[in-house]
Amino acid sequence: MYSFESRIRYSETDSDGKLTLLSLMDYFQDCSTFQSEDLGVGLSFLRERKLVWVLSSWQIAIDRLPDLGEQVSIGTFPYDFKGCFGFRNFFMKDGAGNDIAKANSMWTILDTETFKPKRPPKEVVQKYKMEERLPMAYAGRKIAVPQDMEVKESITVKQHHLDTNHHVNNAQYVGMAMDYLPEHFAVTGMRAEYKKQALLHDILVPCVQVSKEEDGAETCVVSLQDTQGGIYTNVEFEGRRNYVKIG
């Protein structure tokens, strides 16, 4: 297991002074990047071998979002490799060791010349210690896209959406999708399924549906598509309306 300590910064919080979902995702992504760099199989190592890890899916379960200034610990570990896929858990805990959030993720290693999946080199796999996966309610990777979705105004990919792989960063898709959440929607769970990469100047068409459950919970599905209906990313949010301002 790899972990590091941090403190919630003002720049990571929302208007209620709580950590944003995107900042939580950044913490998780940074944690796995730190581990790979410390093990000597990070970005430079992979670039030399014309390889890159890309995220195929996220599942994040949130118990609560920490407050400004709160001390937290962030951890990660891989629990399986299958062919070209790597599976990794993440967690964030508070200063008392209580769970704040857990996550499951699936990654694919690609050849950067052919953009086709490839088995990770043995020297990469051997660097990581496999651990038992976290106890959580594991959901399927695929997200069902409803038929009757509302089409929103298109989004053009800008330079600030891109990461070191020169495509839209996984958290940026989620950030785009969050713009279509209902007002006062408190996210308790999120899944994201990444199907193809969006590049600079690509046009994304958001398609949205919000559905209510019998217990008062709501699900918001946002499908970010190209102009021909091809899917870049599907994002599903679970949560409830929170009309009481916290903090």
Instruction: Give the sign of the dihedral formed by CA 38, CA 44, CA 46, CA 49.
Output: negative
**pLDDT tens track for 147-170:** 999 999 999 999 999 988 788 999
**pLDDT tens track for 93-150:** 999 999 999 999 999 999 999 989 999 999 999 999 999 999 999 999 999 999 999 9
| DSSP summary character for residue 204 | E
Taking alpha carbons only, the member of 221, 234, 164, 243 closest to residue 195 is: 234
Percent of the chain past pLDDT 90, that is, above it, reads: 88
Average pLDDT, whole number, for the chain? 94
Token representation of residue 226: 């190209």
**pLDDT tens track for 29-43:** 999 999 999 999 999
**pLDDT tens track for 42-87:** 999 999 999 999 999 999 999 999 999 999 999 999 999 999 999 9
Rounded-to-integer distance, Cα 191 and Cα 104, Å: 9
Rounded-to-integer distance, Cα 181 and Cα 179, Å: 6
Local structure of 50: helix, strand or coil: coil
- Check whether 247 has a pLDDT greater than 50: no
Of the options 3.10.129.10, 3.30.465.10, 2.40.10.220, 1.10.3720.10, the CATH number for the domain spanning 142-247: 3.10.129.10
Token representation of residue 85: 């896929």
pLDDT for the residue 246: 42
* pTM to 2 decimal places: 0.92
**pLDDT tens track for 215-229:** 879 999 999 999 999
The predicted model gives 175-192 an average pLDDT of 94
Same fold, 1-138 and 142-247: yes
Query: Where are the domains positioned within the chain?
Result: 1-138, 142-247
Local structure of 229: helix, strand or coil: coil
- Cβ burial of 219 (10 Å; 0-12, 13-18, 19+) is middle
Separation in Å, CA 92 to CA 18, 58, 70, 118: 14, 15, 12, 31
Instruction: Tell me the pLDDT band of 27, cut-offs 50, 70 and 90.
Output: very high
**pLDDT tens track for 80-100:** 999 999 999 999 999 999 999
* CA 155 to centroid of chain Cα atoms: 20
Q: Is the distance from CB of 31 to CB of 90 less than 8 angstroms?
A: yes
Cβ-based neighbour number of residue 16 at 10 Å: 14
Instruction: Tell me the pLDDT band of 245, cut-offs 50, 70 and 90.
Output: very low
Q: Are strands 155-156 and 185-194 parallel, antiparallel or unpaired?
A: unpaired
| CATH class of the 1-138 domain in this structure | alpha beta
Q: Is the distance from CB of 86 to CB of 78 less than 8 angstroms?
A: yes
pLDDT for the residue 83: 93
